[in-house]
C-alpha cells in the first residue's frame, strides 16, 4: 500500500497538476529508479521513471531514518 501526506498531495495537485493517487499504478509496471543525490535531504530520496501519465516521480521510503534538515 502506498501512503502519502494529504497536505502534500493537495499541494502537488495545486502546483503541478499531479495527484499522487493517480501515481499508484506506476508501481505495478517496470520502472527505472535511481537515488536522488543532488543534495542532502536527510532521507533516502529516489527518482523513478515508469509507465504513467507523468514522466517521473520523487519519493522516499518511510522505513528510512529521517534527520531534520538544517
pLDDT number for residue 70: 46
- pLDDT tens column, 18-28: 888 887 888 88
Quote the strand ranges of the chain, DSSP E: 31-35, 46-50, 57-59
pTM: 0.51
- Cα 36 to chain center, whole Å? 11
Phi (first) and psi of residue 24, to 5 degrees:
-55, -40
Residues whose CB falls within 8 Å of the CB of residue 69, separated by 6 or more in sequence, listed in order: 40, 41, 42
What is each CA distance from 57 to 6, 13, 68, 70, in whole angstroms? 17, 13, 22, 24
pLDDT number for residue 58: 62
- pLDDT tens column, 22-70: 878 888 888 899 999 999 989 898 888 877 655 555 666 665 544 545 4
Amino acid at each position: 500500500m502506498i501512503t502519502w501526506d494529504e497536505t502534500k498531495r493537495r499541494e502537488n495537485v495545486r502546483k503541478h497538476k499531479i495527484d499522487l493517487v493517480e501515481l499508484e499504478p506506476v508501481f505495478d509496471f517496470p520502472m527505472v529508479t535511481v537515488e536522488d543525490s543532488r543534495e542532502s535531504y536527510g532521507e533516502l530520496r529516489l527518482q523513478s521513471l515508469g509507465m504513467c501519465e507523468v514522466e517521473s516521480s520523487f519519493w522516499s521510503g518511510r522505513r528510512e531514518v529521517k534527520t531534520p534538515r538544517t
